[in-house]
Chain A
Amino acid sequence: KEWKTVTITLEGAYAPWNMTNPDGTLGGFEPELAKYLCDHMKVECKLVASDWDSMITSLNAGKFDVIMDALSITEERKKIIDFSIPYAHTHAAFAASKDSSYTNAPGTGTVVKMEPDLSGGKDSVEAMRTAFKGATIGIQAATVYAKFIYDNFGDIATIREYKTGAERDLDLETGRIDLAFDDAVYLNSAFEKANGELAFSGPEIGGTIFGIGEGLGVRQSDPELKAMLDDAIKAALADGVVKELSMKWFKTDVTP
């Protein structure tokens, strides 16, 4: 199959990965990266915004061809869609309100790399368990982070699941919860909005424990498209475009 035009979807409401400008156009890290990828593949790209909840179902129903929405590559998702190679890889971390008793847990400001079996970070997890005993931790439901928190903190803390990170952040500010655990890049941008009320607590967690990063989602019946996208991403990584855009939008390097 010849690909002349490709329709790429994103939510358009997940700043700074992707967002909508007041004039209705899409902006952010991903739209700019998409432009580079499409130029490289020499295809015409159409960016459309769509609802997060129905995104994967819609992809398989043929409503569009590619999902580019900070979609983590996971085993479950691989069962029903294909992924390109990752174009970003972010760390995860705890955030706390600055005036709470859970701030500045040991390791704040450092990065710990862990494998899925925790190897490489068992000590930091232990340290955090001691520091966060009795806290209420807010997480976004059905994320890779949820499983990590349940497995390692379920017995010492109260866990509350939110449908979106934004709602959880609001509760973190009002003090309904003491800690939030999420993507560090995402949290960083939340801190900006919170006027310095929030800060990281404990180390940033990297490595492969939360997967290999964020990739583009495509239908399993479109292997040619996947190959084209893989090529383009490799080129973008090699050109340093990803790093450049990352520094622009995230103020940190998310290159995998």
Chain B
Amino acid sequence: MDFPFLFQTMKTLLAALPVTLGLFSLSVLFGGFLAILIVWMRVGGNPILSRFARGYIFVFRGSPLLIQMFLVFYGLGQFGFIRHSFVWPALREPFVCAVLSLALCTAGYTAEIFRFGLRAVPPREIEAARAIGMSGFLLVRRIIAPIAFRHALPAYSTEIVMMVKSTALASLVTVWEVTGVAQRLISQTYRTMEVFLCAAIIYLVLNFLILQAMALLEHYLSPHRRAAAPLVPGGLPVSR
């Protein structure tokens, strides 16, 4: 093992970590908002909006992010009217484009995840809420969203971890985050395994922390599923 090399590699890669984190957090944030909007359109009952949402989910879930990012970054610039419009100063920036395409893509996935969460809400509990005069946003905010979010959480944490890894594609549009830097290092040193191993450790630690945080959130959000007392240490109270 060539420790000085590993150490040097680690240092180079860690320098790119802020870029990865920035891409990740911004795209999860915007993607989340967009997903809520899309789910709302999808299940809201308006056939036109619902159709649009379906189409959106279909396209962004169904095609590789690589292609989406390529088309957003290099494709939009092909149109003269976009290049001469007010959005160009923003779209010119690789970072903005990377966040945009990551957010657009994750919104498609997240919308589906949230929709499955909605389906898991017991219809009887929704009825009880309607019966006291709740509807619309209030019903969603107080009853449906908390239960649905709780149900969607395991799938959503997977999606968030996916996003961490998806940021790796941003080097395609000249945003040099951890994986991109690693690939650049490899093409300079040809020490594929060592460099990738360093990168893997960074991602693994990052994702481990995220998964741990999500597990904590899951625990915090499900007191109603736990046994009354901490008598069953960490065990599953479902069956014995």
Contact = CB atoms under 8 A, between A and B. Distances in A.
Given A76-B189, A167-B74, 19 more contacts: A57-B190, A76-B190, A80-B190, A141-B171, A141-B183, A141-B184, A141-B187, A142-B184, A142-B188, A160-B94, A161-B174, A161-B176, A162-B174, A163-B171, A167-B172, A174-B74, A174-B77, A174-B83, A175-B77
Contacts of B192: 54, 57
B74 A77 contact: no
A142 B183 CA distance: 9
Nearest to B176: A161
B180 interface: yes
Contacts of A80: 190
Contacts of B77: 170-171, 174-176
Nearest to A143: B187
A56 B83 CA distance: 40
A142 B171 CA distance: 13
25 contacts: A57-B192, A76-B188, A77-B190, A79-B190, A80-B190, A141-B180, A141-B183, A141-B184, A141-B187, A142-B183, A142-B184, A160-B94, A160-B174, A163-B180, A163-B183, A167-B172, A170-B78, A171-B74, A171-B77, A174-B74, A174-B77, A174-B78, A175-B77, A175-B83, A176-B92
Contacts of A123: none
Contacts, number: 47
Contacts of A176: 77, 92
Contacts of B92: 176
A176 B74 CA distance: 10
A23 interface: no
Interface string A161-187: 111000100110011100000000000
A213 B182 CA distance: 26
A77 B187 CA distance: 9
A53 interface: yes
B71 to A, nearest CB: 11
A170 B172 CA distance: 13
A171 B174 CA distance: 11
Interface string B20-62: 0000000000000000000000000000000000000000000
A80 B188 CA distance: 11
B237 to A, nearest CB: 48
Interface residues of B, number: 20
Contact of A56 (B173, B174, B176, B190): B190
Main secondary structure of the interface of A (DSSP, over half): mixed
Nearest to B93: A176
A77 B174 CA distance: 24
Contacts of A161: 174, 176, 184
A76 B190 CA distance: 8
A76 B184 CA distance: 13
A175 B84 CA distance: 11
Given A76-B190, A142-B188, A176-B92, A53 B183 contact: yes
Contacts of B188: 76, 142
Contacts of A57: 190, 192
B186 to A, nearest CB: 8
Pairs A-B, 3 closest by C-beta atoms? A174-B77, A142-B187, A170-B74
A170 to B, nearest CB: 4
Contacts of A170: 74, 77-78
Contacts of A167: 70, 74, 172-173
Contacts of B187: 141-142
Contacts of B180: 141, 163
A170 B75 CA distance: 9
Contacts of A160: 94, 174
A168 to B, nearest CB: 9
A54 B183 CA distance: 10
Nearest to B171: A163
B96 to A, nearest CB: 12
Interface string A24-63: 0000000000000000000000000000011011000000
A171 B76 CA distance: 11
Contacts of B189: 76
B83 to A, nearest CB: 6
A56 B183 CA distance: 13
A77 B77 CA distance: 36
Interface in B55-89: 70, 74, 77-78, 83
Interface in B179-222: 180, 183-184, 187-190, 192
